[in-house]
Structure 1
Amino acid sequence: MARFPKPAEGSWTEHYPQLGTGPVSYEDSINPEFYEVERKAVFKRAWLNVGRIEQLPRKGSYFTKELKVANTSIIVVRNTDGEVKVYHNICRHRGNKLVWNDMPLEETSGVCKQFTCKYHAWRYDLDGNLTFVQQESEFFDLDKSRYGLVPIHCDVWEGFIFVNFADRPEQSLREFLGPMITDLEGYPFDRMTSRWHYQSEVKANWKLYMDAFQEFYHAPVLHANQSPTAYSKAAAEAGFEAPHYRIEGPHRLVSTSGVRAWEMSAEMRKPIEDICHSGLFGPWDEPDLGEMPKGLNPAKCDPWGLDSFQLFPNFVLLFWGQGWYMTYHYWPTSHNTHIFEGTVYFPQPRTPRERIAQELAAVSFKEYGLQDANTLEATQSMIESRVLDEFVLCDQEVLVRHLHKETAAWIDQYQRGTAGV
């Protein structure tokens, strides 16, 4: 595999001198006290993606989301005017969880005209207004207009639904995203409705898993067994460097070249890939998606492999050159555990062959993800030993540096604000 040149002057890391080049600490990934501050300083202040508009296909459609990091459950719903609204999933009477099925801690979805509490049958319309109280006359001067559902700030960008738990968000969603992300506008997200979703609890801090997908230094080694021996051996010996990194505000991007799998020699491919015309890079038959937005493939790679946009704090948009995309979410559940969600999006298949090609790509992604998760649990177990307290990073790991430094900066800003500094 070819190595790509460095920027015209210096390394990638040196282009961001504020990050430094020394060893880094992972105390932020093993300290329970740090995690408790991080929940307030980061996850209750940043805009968080909780889903896509296709999950709300009609008026009255809703889904719930369990967000342990914010110590709440939320309801995301399309109201009668077609607008997206988000509420805390709690009844104003006695605090029962309002929307759930058989298991209170499991997420659910559906369509309704109103939400009815299972406990005492209080009812709320899709705009969160309290509309019915069982035996209302038994209450003392009850003003129903004061007891609607508790709203949460929400906004939609390119079909992605974001929430913000701050009393007053410090930035609008668009300001928070910034030009690097908004330059993705125009990508045909609405055509990508063939969807596969995976979820797993990982016994590692959420940042460690994000780190794994912010560099490709590990790929020729960790994922060697996913490729034919001749190819993986050559890749490991040659190494790999991405041709483009970018940091903008709290967000990050790594862009890479790719390979046209069908142009590789037969011994470099797996038999199943020849049968299904697909693999890790996606289906070989690239769909016609029209002109791509200016924010993609900034290095002008030919062939282009993928762009991975890391949206702070815990959301990743990953675009493949073969005409499909993925999202990752990392939802913390403690200082050393989190829920990882991976979702794969393709255009609707037109033939059985296209469907099979999409399924092979989705399954290939799942296998790679499991390899990363398994390694990160081993990492978590050893950094918690505190045998070492600092770790060296190479130039390809510049985005790893940035995530940990940015998290620390948000915490410092929060603590200064709460201390009145």
Structure 2
Amino acid sequence: MPHFAKPAVGSWTENWPELGTEPVDYTDSIDPEQWKLEQQAIFRKTWLHVGRVERLPKTGSYFTREMPSVGTGTSIIIVKDKDGTVRAFYNICRHRGNKLVWNDYPGEEVSGSCRQFTCKYHAWRYDLKGDLTFVQQEDEFFDLDKQDYPLRSIRCEVWEGFIFVNFDDNAGPLVDYMGDFGKGLEGYPFHEMTEVYSYRSEIKANWKLFIDAFIEFYHAPILHMKQATKEEAEKLAKVGFEALHYDIKGIHSMISSWGGMSPPKDLNMVKPIERILHSGLFGPWDRPDIKGILPDELPPAVNPARQPTWGQDSFEFFPNFTLLLWVPGWYLTYNYWPTGVDSHIFEANLYFVPPKNTRQRLSQELAAVTFKEYALQDANTLEATQTQIGTRAVTDFPLCDQEILLRHLHKTAGDFVNKYKAEQGNTDTNGSAAHV
């Protein structure tokens, strides 16, 4: 069902009656057992975004990722083999279980380039396809066949240059998982935007609470009013902020909003440094000279309501990948990696077309540091939220029409957990023990 620009109060929620209108129970964000179930039912069963192909520029390029969301200590290697295929492996040597790829500190992620992977402990070697190629003093082993001991592989596929892994060997293809939103985004010039600014922070709050903060603009005129001029802040506080469009397709969702004008119609609305550098929270005002970002060139999923005041789209690919496109021609990605029921690692990456001069470079840097301020403001509320929900004094909370995607997120997570519990129950019935 297509969903167009909002004509009346309540019209978003009424399109998805299965989500209801009653208060939402946030016990799912404070229950340790629920988190353990989410780890098994969600993060070990779905496609997880781990990086871009630009991080693998040549044969033998690799990087590692620590994946506590799927299991304590879980580490993986992402590498480009001689055929140009991107592969993923558990970062474990098959001899005695030593971590295979690391530098000075085994808990830190690393990247580089190599012809083969060599274990630091006993020098077992593996080629870029994961096959065991050398065993030190091989004749001392008993009937050892190197073909029986390759690195353990992980499902790895690429969509529009984004690398995903899936720890479920029976999972369907990534392109199917991305669904209609993924299909509708194909062709956007992600590959042109290779200038990257990255942020990472450990947040003492449930992973879903931070996603909640980014899928509604109800908070914008209150929480972020200090970033606007006095006149603009007073206007927003009075009339509120209304997004242009919401949509839900299966387990994924999106929100479209105005903003990101380049340049703003009223320069008095922005700060002096933004006027000088032609940049700010919405990114550089001057559009890069590339194809695919003008209104008539955008893929169909972008600005679906075809609003002339459109500024940005935020696509929420369940469970923890946000892809946010801005009208001036740049994009953001967010990932939320849970480490416990009340903690997660937040990663943000800003992608721009590489600058051609100093002015363009400074405009991108201003956008990057301005974004950080907004993100910190959002994160600042989360730990206070987590502590108070954790008291269980109140666990049911009313949500407004603009918070429709929050309802969808918590219901989707709950559906995955309930399905997993039902499957485990069936396994128990058949005589096998289920473990969480």
TM over 0.5, shorter chain: yes
Q: Which residue of structure 2 aligns with residue 53 of structure 1?
A: 53
Query: CA distance change for structure 1 residues 57 and 261 in 2, over 3 Å: closer, same or farther?
Result: closer
Cα offset for 1:7? 3.9
Q: Which residue of structure 2 aligns with residue 383 of structure 1?
A: 389
Cα offset for 1:10? 4.8
CA contact (8 A) 1:196 1:362 kept: yes
CA contact (8 A) 1:6 1:12 kept: yes
Q: Which residue of structure 2 aligns with residue 228 of structure 1?
A: 229
Q: Which residue of structure 2 aligns with residue 31 of structure 1?
A: 31
* SS of alignment partner, residue 50 of structure 2: strand
Q: TM-score, normalised by structure 1?
A: 0.97
* SS of alignment partner, residue 359 of structure 1: helix
Q: Which residue of structure 1 aligns with residue 100 of structure 2?
A: 98
Cα offset for 1:14? 1.1
CA contact (8 A) 1:224 1:232 kept: yes
Which residue identity lines up with residue 128 of structure 2 in the other structure? Answer: L
CA contact (8 A) 1:259 1:303 kept: no
Query: CA distance change for structure 1 residues 319 and 402 in 2, over 3 Å: closer, same or farther?
Result: same
Q: TM-score, normalised by structure 2?
A: 0.93
CA contact (8 A) 1:29 1:335 kept: yes
Q: Which residue of structure 1 aligns with residue 434 of structure 2?
A: none
CA contact (8 A) 1:246 1:254 kept: yes
Cα offset for 1:263? 3.8
Q: Which residue of structure 2 aligns with residue 210 of structure 1?
A: 211
Cα offset for 1:138? 1.2
Query: CA distance change for structure 1 residues 78 and 297 in 2, over 3 Å: closer, same or farther?
Result: same
Q: Which residue of structure 1 aligns with residue 63 of structure 2?
A: 63
- The correspondence of residues 1-400 of structure 1 with structure 2, limited to 5 A, is 6-7=6-7, 10-71=10-71, 72-169=74-171, 171-258=172-259, 260=261, 262-290=263-291, 291-400=297-406
Distance 1:118 1:172 in 2: 35
CA contact (8 A) 1:256 1:301 kept: no
Instruction: Show CA shifts across 1:229-269 (max 9, x none).
Output: 11111111110111210000100000012253634434321
Query: CA distance change for structure 1 residues 313 and 119 in 2, over 3 Å: closer, same or farther?
Result: same
CA contact (8 A) 2:260 2:312 kept: no
Distance 1:255 1:369 in 2: 18
* SS of alignment partner, residue 33 of structure 2: helix
Instruction: Show CA shifts across 1:323-365 (max 9, x none).
Output: 1000000001111100000000010111111111111111111
Unaligned runs of 5+ in 2: 292-296, 428-436
When the two structures are aligned, how many residues end up with a matched partner? 417
CA contact (8 A) 1:282 1:324 kept: yes
Distance 1:137 1:73 in 2: 31
* SS of alignment partner, residue 358 of structure 1: helix
* SS of alignment partner, residue 346 of structure 2: strand
Instruction: Show CA shifts across 1:204-241 (max 9, x none).
Output: 00000001000000011101111111111111111011
CA contact (8 A) 1:261 1:269 kept: no
CA contact (8 A) 2:261 2:327 kept: no
Cα offset for 1:9? 8.9
* SS of alignment partner, residue 152 of structure 1: strand
Distance 1:263 1:182 in 2: 31
Distance 2:194 2:169 in 1: 34
Cα offset for 1:6? 2.9
